[in-house]
A and B are shown apart, each in its own frame.
Chain A
Amino acid sequence: MLFDSPVYFFFLIPVVLLYWRLNHRAQNIFLLLASYFFYGWWDSRFLALMIGSTTMDFLIAQKIVSCRPDSNRKKWLILSLVLNFTILGIFKYFDFFAGSFAGALEKLGVHNIPLPLIRIILPPGISFYTFQEVAYIVDVYKGRIEASRSFFDYGLFISLFPHLIAGPIQRPSHLLPQVQKDRTFDADRFFDGLMLIFFGLIRKCVVADNCALLANAVFGGQFGPSNFWLVLLGTYAFTWQVYGDFSGYSDIARGSAQLLGFHFMVNFRQPFLAPRLQDFWRRWHISLSTWLRDYLYIPLGGSAQGNWKTSRNLFITMVLAGLWHGANWTFVIFGAIHGVVLSVERYFFPSKVGSKGTDVPQRSIGFLSLWGQRILTFNILGLSLAFFRATSLRAAVQLLAGLTRFSWRPEYASAFFMLCVFSIPLFLVDLLLEAGNYEYPFATSPYAVRTALAAAALVVLALFSGSNLNAFVYFRF
C-alpha cells in the first residue's frame, strides 16, 4: 500500500475515524490488526516472518529482564542479535555474498562452483523493523527501557503501519511509552498531521516523481552517451528525486502517525543546506544516522580514540550504512565515499568531541564561505549518489567517465529547465523552514492561512502529479 496511492487513503481514513472511538486497550489491538493488514496487503507471505521475528524478540527481552546472573543476560542478547541479523542476512544479503563469492572464484579460474544461489524476495521493511527490534533488545539489556509486558504493545511498537515499511526508525524510548500510555486527541497535532501529509505528497508526487523522469532517462541512457552535462543533470535530478521521495514519505508517515496521536522523530532537516557532509548526516535520514551513531559508531569507539581510530570507525559505519541500503557493491562504494570524505573533513575541519564520543557542531561561518561549502557538499553528495542510483559499478563508472566530455545538445536546456521547475520550489521551502525551524511551511501561521495553503497544495498536486504510481525509493531497503 503506497502512501501516495488512493488505496492508502481508503485505508487510513476509516482507521483514523474508528480508532478515536475506542479505548486505549482496544486502540492498540485495533492498530496492531490494521498494521498487519497494511503489511499483508503489500505481501501476505512475509507477515508470518514479521510476526515470528516480533514474538522472538518479545520473548528474549522477557528472558533478559528475568535472567540472573548477568552472563546469561548477555547470552540472550547475543542470541537475539545473531537471530535478527541472520534473518536479515538471509533475506537481504545471501544472494549478494554468494554471488560475489562465485564471481571472485570465477576470476581465480575456479568455474561452475555449485553455490546455493536462491531467488529470495526481499520482505518489505525488513531492514527497518530489524533495526527497531535490535534497538529494543539492546536498550532492554542496557537498562535504558523496561521490557514491554504486553505483546500487543510491543507488536504495535514494531509494526505501527506509518513507519513499518520505510521508517522513520523509531527509538524504543521514544515510541514505546507512547504505545503504552493513553493517547488523547489533540486537534492541533491532528491538523499538523494533515498538513504534513499534504506537503509530503507534494514532495513525493510533484518533486520526486518529475525529477525521476529526468534521472531515469540519464541513467537509462536515453540521452545518449554520458558527458559532463548529463552527469550534472542525472546526479542533480536523482539527488532531488531521492530527497523529495524519502522526505515526502517521512512527512506522510509522520503525518499519519499524528492523526493517530503518535509523534515520530523528524527524519529530515533541510539536508542540502548542510555546509559539510558530517552536518549533512545530521540532517538526512536522521533516524538511521542516529541509530548507526548510537548502536554502531559509539560502540566501536566513536571519535574519542584519536584521529586514526575515529577515521576507521567512520569508514566502517558508513560502509555498513551503504550496505544497509541494498545488497550491491554500488551501495558499498557509496558508503565508502562518505566514510572517506567524512574522515578527510574531520582532518581539515576538526570538531569538538562531545561527552558521548560524538562530534559537536562548530561555530557559524561567513555567508560566502557557508554557501561555497554547501555547494561543494551538495556536489560531493550528488557524485556519490551516482553509485547509489546506478544498477552496477560499471554503469556508475561509465556515467562518471563522461565528466571529461562537454558536448552540448539543445534538449539539455529543456531538461535543466524542467529540473529547476521542480527542484527550486523545494529548495525555497527548505530555506524557509531553515529560517523558521518549522516542520512544514508557515507552520505557525493562523489556521485559515494554513488551510488555504493546503488547498493550494492539493491543486498543485492534482495538476503536476503523473499517471504512474512510483514506488518510494526506500521501499527497496
Chain B
Amino acid sequence: MRSYTSGSKLGALFYAKLLAGICAFLIVAFELLSNFMLKHYSETYARVSRQYAEAVNVRPGRPGEAIPVLIVGNSLLLEAIDVDRLKGLTSGQMRIYPIFLEATGYYDWLYALQRLFREGSRPQVVVFGVGVDSFLADTVRQDYAPLVLFDAEDSLGVASDLKMDRTATGNLLLAHSSAFWDTRSVFRTQILRHTVPHYEELVSLLKPQPVVPPALQFRAVANSRLERLRHLCHTYGAKLIILVPPTPSSEDAIQRMVIASREAGVDTLVPIDPAALSTKYYQPDELHLNPEGAQLFTSALANFLPKTLDHEQEVSPN
C-alpha cells in the first residue's frame, strides 16, 4: 500500500517545502557571498592565489641566468622572510618565488608541489620550510589549502595518505569545490574577533601544542617524508633544500631534523642558530620572528642560500 498525505496537513507540507527552498537559497547565497568575500576581502586568499599563479609560470633559467627558486612554507617563513629584501639581496643570482600559507605542514606542501609540477612549474630549486613539528604532523589545513593548493586528485591523495575515513574524504573534496565550505570557519573567527575580548591571544592558547615524536619514530617519519619530497623534486629536475626557521626551545628538534636530512641526502639550511637569537627578536607568541628578527633571518638566508647552491652541500652556521 502506498503511503499518502492527509489533506489537513497541507500547511505543514507547504512550509516543509518552503524550508527546503530556503535551505537551497541560503546554500547558494553563502557560496556566492564566500566567493565574493574571498576574492575582494581575504588577504590570505589574494596573497596565496597570486603567489601560486606566479609559481606555476616558473621556468628553468638558461646558463648564466638567475636560478628560479621556489620557497614554500607556513607562517614561520611568512614572518621570517622579507621577500622584497631577499629578492634585492639575491638578484642576479636567483629569481625568488615564494608561496606562504599559515598553519600548513608537510602534506599541504607535498601535494601543492605535486600540483605545481604537474601544471608545468619548473623551478630549479625548491626551498621547503615549515618548522619541525609541522613537518612531522599528520594533518593538512582544512581551509584555504583544499581550495587554493589542491585539486580533486590531490585531495584524494591527501585523504589516502592521512588515512581519512570516507566522511572526512568527502569533506575535503567539498572544501576543494566550495568556497563556503572551505572558508566557513573564517566567518566565525571574524565574528568572535569582534565579540570576544583579546580573542587573538585566546586563539593562540586554543591551538594544540605541537608534539615532536621520540627519536626513533622521528627518524623513521622524517626520513620517509624527506625521501618522498626529494624524489618528487628530483623527478622534475629541482633540487630540494630544507630550510629550518628558528623557533625558541626547538634546538634539539632542529638538530635531529638536520641529521635526518643528511641521512636522506637532502641539503639543510639553518641560516640562524636558534640559540643565538634572544627573545627580543620574537613576537609576543614566542614563535614567530618580529620585523627585527626577520631582518636578521633574511640577511642570513640571502647569504647562505647562494652558497648552498654553489657548493651543493649543507651550509650551517653551527
Chain A residue with Cβ nearest B196: A418
Does B287 sit within 8 A of A, measured CB to CB? no
**B residues near A5, Cβ cutoff 8 Å:** 167, 170-171
Does A216 sit within 8 A of B, measured CB to CB? yes
Q: CB within 8 A of B3: which of A7, A184, A410, A455?
A: A184
Q: Are B191 and A464 closer than 8 Å at their CB atoms? A: yes
Q: Are B143 and A467 closer than 8 Å at their CB atoms? A: yes
Q: CB within 8 A of A188: which of B12, B180, B183, B195?
A: B12
- CB-CB contacts of A8-35 with B at 8 A, as 1s and 0s? 1010000000001111100100000000
Q: How far in angstroms is the closest Cβ of chain A from B101?
A: 14
Contact A191/B12 with A182-B3, A185-B4, A411-B205 known, Cβ cut-off 8 Å: yes
Interface residues of B in 164-189 (CB under 8 A from A): 165-168, 170-171, 174-175, 180-185, 187-188
Most buried by B among A190, A191, A222: A191
Does B207 sit within 8 A of A, measured CB to CB? yes
| Bound form: Cα–Cα A448–B9 in Å | 14
Q: Are A187 and B142 closer than 8 Å at their CB atoms? A: no
Does B217 sit within 8 A of A, measured CB to CB? no
| Bound form: Cα–Cα A20–B23 in Å | 21
Most buried by B among A185, A223, A450: A185
- CB-CB contacts of B1-16 with A at 8 A, as 1s and 0s? 1111110011111111
**A residues near B16, Cβ cutoff 8 Å:** 187, 190-191, 194
| Bound form: Cα–Cα A462–B29 in Å | 11
| Bound form: Cα–Cα A10–B170 in Å | 11
Does A125 sit within 8 A of B, measured CB to CB? no
**A residues near B20, Cβ cutoff 8 Å:** 194
- CB-CB contacts of A206-222 with B at 8 A, as 1s and 0s? 00001001101100111
Q: Are A220 and B209 closer than 8 Å at their CB atoms? A: yes
Q: How far in angstroms is the closest Cβ of chain A from B295?
A: 30
Chain A residue with Cβ nearest B191: A463
**A residues near B19, Cβ cutoff 8 Å:** 191, 194, 451, 454-455
**B residues near A435, Cβ cutoff 8 Å:** none
Does B63 sit within 8 A of A, measured CB to CB? no
**A residues near B168, Cβ cutoff 8 Å:** 469
Chain B residue with Cβ nearest A43: B165
Q: How far in angstroms is the closest Cβ of chain A from B132?
A: 19
Does B64 sit within 8 A of A, measured CB to CB? no
Chain B residue with Cβ nearest A19: B3
Interface residues of A in 245-268 (CB under 8 A from B): 261
Does B317 sit within 8 A of A, measured CB to CB? no
Q: CB within 8 A of A462: which of B11, B26, B171, B208?
A: B26
Chain A residue with Cβ nearest B142: A467
Contact A190/B13 with A7-B166, A462-B187, A466-B188 known, Cβ cut-off 8 Å: yes
Question: A-B contact count, CB below 8 Å?
Answer: 154
Q: Are A414 and B170 closer than 8 Å at their CB atoms? A: no
| Bound form: Cα–Cα A447–B184 in Å | 29
Q: How far in angstroms is the closest Cβ of chain B from A111?
A: 23
**A residues near B205, Cβ cutoff 8 Å:** 217, 222-223, 411, 415
| Bound form: Cα–Cα A274–B196 in Å | 30
Q: Are A187 and B187 closer than 8 Å at their CB atoms? A: no
| Bound form: Cα–Cα A186–B5 in Å | 7
**B residues near A413, Cβ cutoff 8 Å:** 197-198
| Bound form: Cα–Cα A349–B19 in Å | 48
**A residues near B11, Cβ cutoff 8 Å:** 187, 447
Does A406 sit within 8 A of B, measured CB to CB? no
Does A1 sit within 8 A of B, measured CB to CB? yes
Does B236 sit within 8 A of A, measured CB to CB? no
Q: How far in angstroms is the closest Cβ of chain A from B310?
A: 43
Size class of the contact patch on chain A: 35 or more
Q: Are B187 and A463 closer than 8 Å at their CB atoms? A: yes
Q: How far in angstroms is the closest Cβ of chain B from A324?
A: 24
**A residues near B174, Cβ cutoff 8 Å:** 6
Most buried by B among A5, A414, A467, A469: A467
Does B201 sit within 8 A of A, measured CB to CB? yes
Q: CB within 8 A of A468: which of B142, B199, B209?
A: B142
Q: CB within 8 A of B23: which of A418, A447, A458?
A: A458
Q: How far in angstroms is the closest Cβ of chain B from A164?
A: 15
| Bound form: Cα–Cα A429–B74 in Å | 42
Chain B residue with Cβ nearest A5: B167
Does A459 sit within 8 A of B, measured CB to CB? yes
Does A421 sit within 8 A of B, measured CB to CB? yes
Q: Are A187 and B143 closer than 8 Å at their CB atoms? A: no
**B residues near A216, Cβ cutoff 8 Å:** 206, 208
Does A87 sit within 8 A of B, measured CB to CB? no
**A residues near B45, Cβ cutoff 8 Å:** none
Does B192 sit within 8 A of A, measured CB to CB? yes
Chain A residue with Cβ nearest B146: A467
Q: How far in angstroms is the closest Cβ of chain A from B197?
A: 6
Contact A421/B195 with A187-B10, A222-B206, A451-B15 known, Cβ cut-off 8 Å: yes
Q: Are A410 and B5 closer than 8 Å at their CB atoms? A: no
Does A474 sit within 8 A of B, measured CB to CB? no
Does B281 sit within 8 A of A, measured CB to CB? no
Q: Are B12 and A20 closer than 8 Å at their CB atoms? A: no
Q: Are B196 and A421 closer than 8 Å at their CB atoms? A: yes
Chain B residue with Cβ nearest A454: B19
Q: How far in angstroms is the closest Cβ of chain B from A38?
A: 11
Q: Are A458 and B22 closer than 8 Å at their CB atoms? A: yes
Contact A182/B170 with A191-B12, A221-B209 known, Cβ cut-off 8 Å: no
**A residues near B6, Cβ cutoff 8 Å:** 184, 186-187
Q: CB within 8 A of B202: which of A191, A418, A448, A464?
A: A418
Q: How far in angstroms is the closest Cβ of chain B from A261?
A: 7
Does A438 sit within 8 A of B, measured CB to CB? no
Q: CB within 8 A of A6: which of B22, B30, B170?
A: B170
Interface residues of A in 415-463 (CB under 8 A from B): 415, 417-418, 421, 447-448, 450-451, 454-455, 458-459, 462-463
Additional pairs, 20, CB under 8 Å, beyond known A191-B13, A216-B208, A462-B184: A6-B170, A6-B171, A7-B171, A21-B2, A23-B1, A24-B1, A185-B4, A185-B5, A187-B11, A190-B16, A214-B206, A217-B206, A220-B209, A410-B201, A451-B22, A464-B191, A466-B188, A467-B142, A467-B175, A467-B185
7 A-B pairs closest in CB distance: A467-B185, A187-B9, A187-B12, A447-B15, A187-B13, A414-B202, A7-B170
Binding site for A on B (CB under 8 A): 1-6, 9-16, 18-20, 22-23, 26, 30, 142-143, 165-168, 170-171, 174-175, 180-185, 187-188, 191-192, 195-199, 201-202, 205-209
Sample of 11 A–B contacts (CB below 8 Å): A7-B171, A186-B9, A221-B209, A222-B207, A223-B205, A410-B201, A415-B202, A418-B202, A421-B196, A462-B184, A463-B191
